[in-house]
Amino acid sequence: MPFVTSKKMLLDAQKGNYAVGAFNVENMEMVMAVIEAAEEMRAPVILQTTPSTVKYAGLNLYYANVKAVAEKASVPIALHLDHGSSFELAMQALREGYTSIMIDGSHEPLEENVLLSKAVVDACHPAQIPVEGELGRVGGKEDEREGGDGGLTSPEEAAYFVEKTGIDFLAVSIGTAHGVYSGVPNIRVDILKEIKKKVSIPLVLHGTSGVADDTVRECIREGICKVNYATDLRIAYSEGVKEVLNENQSTIDPKAYGKRGKALVKQYVMDKISVCRGFNGEPGMRKLQSPT
């Protein structure tokens, strides 16, 4: 199936009260694992690359890699620039063929974030490519950016931001963090409920690796339509590699440990898709339907 944009995916999720899993990929094996998992679960999926991932191998290589696997899939696949760090990078991804763009101006003052996000929206919408923005600041570290303790999204500022920018999706900060949590995260579902009252577009949850599945389900019930996973995929792949090398340190064929890493990533993705998808408002409780 050719690439699709993320817009219909998330509008369908919003209407159906479930979420689409968005998974960060670092190499060929992870790309294959995510799409194989989506095929088995009969669910749409979003693959994502961050600026540091793009810097490592280039937009063109990741685009070609995902495109080659996605074309053989029977479920909708979108390719998303995660945490786009500049207008220039967003435009490069747009020209390369990415079907979903995030511009992250959350580290800037509100008005500068508005101007940057609107500029990306104005450039992407004529090509019918949706744009995700972020307001508030998700804690932890994403690529080279330090989020510190984060900064919660203001529901009132969220309404203003959405109106002024025209973004399609809003990533909110409600207590999640990028990277590995040092304790149990305090997820502010109460703030999410207030944001949902103020804005009508699909909402996005970042920093979900390590958040309890039941908490994610609750967030989906309150308006989250896209759930991002990154750190735990890296952990799963790395654990697979370590297992093979621990079993036989003389292993020299990358396919041997790549296969194990791929298998662990695939299982993780299948588990999280089951959390994100839902029936009658109860995410993760239904047999998945064939995607529309």
| DSSP secondary structure string for all residues of 26-80 | -SHHHHHHHHHHHHHHT--EEEEE-HHHHHHH-HHHHHHHHHHHHTT-SS-EEEE
Distance (Å, whole) CA 94 – CA 91: 5
Please choose, from the candidates 93, 155, 83, the residue with its C-alpha nearest in 3D space to the C-alpha of residue 124. Answer: 93
Sign of CA dihedral 242, 244, 248, 253: negative
Question: pLDDT of the chain along its 292 residues, tens only?
Answer: 889 999 999 999 999 999 999 999 999 999 999 999 999 999 999 999 999 999 999 999 999 999 999 999 999 999 999 999 999 999 999 999 999 999 999 989 999 999 999 999 999 999 999 999 999 876 544 455 544 445 899 999 999 999 999 999 999 999 987 555 555 678 999 999 999 999 999 999 998 988 999 999 999 999 999 999 999 999 999 999 999 999 999 999 999 999 999 999 999 999 999 999 853 334 433 344 433 3
Question: What CA–CA distances, in Å, run from 179 to 33, 48, 55, 101, 267?
Answer: 21, 16, 19, 21, 20
Alpha helix ranges (H) inside the chain:
6-16, 28-41, 51-57, 59-70, 87-96, 110-124, 155-165, 189-198, 213-221, 231-247, 254-276
Distance (Å, whole) CA 118 – CA 177: 25
- Catalytic amino acids? 82
Quick check: helix, strand or coil at residue 218?
helix
Q: What is the pLDDT, as a whole number, of residue 176?
A: 86
Q: What is the pLDDT, as a whole number, of residue 278?
A: 58
Q: What is the pLDDT, as a whole number, of residue 148?
A: 47
Residue 123, classified by CB atoms within 10 Å of its CB into exposed (0-12), middle (13-18) or buried (19+), is: middle
Question: In the CATH scheme, what is the homologous superfamily, with its name and number, of domain 6-235+270-283?
Answer: Aldolase class I (3.20.20.70)
Q: What is the pLDDT, as a whole number, of residue 262?
A: 98
Q: What is the pLDDT, as a whole number, of residue 179?
A: 58
Distance (Å, whole) CA 265 – CA 258: 10
Domain assignments of the chain as residue spans, ordered by start: 6-235+270-283
Q: What is the pLDDT, as a whole number, of residue 210?
A: 83
Please choose, from the candidates 288, 214, 212, 233, the residue with its C-alpha nearest in 3D space to the C-alpha of residue 13. Answer: 288
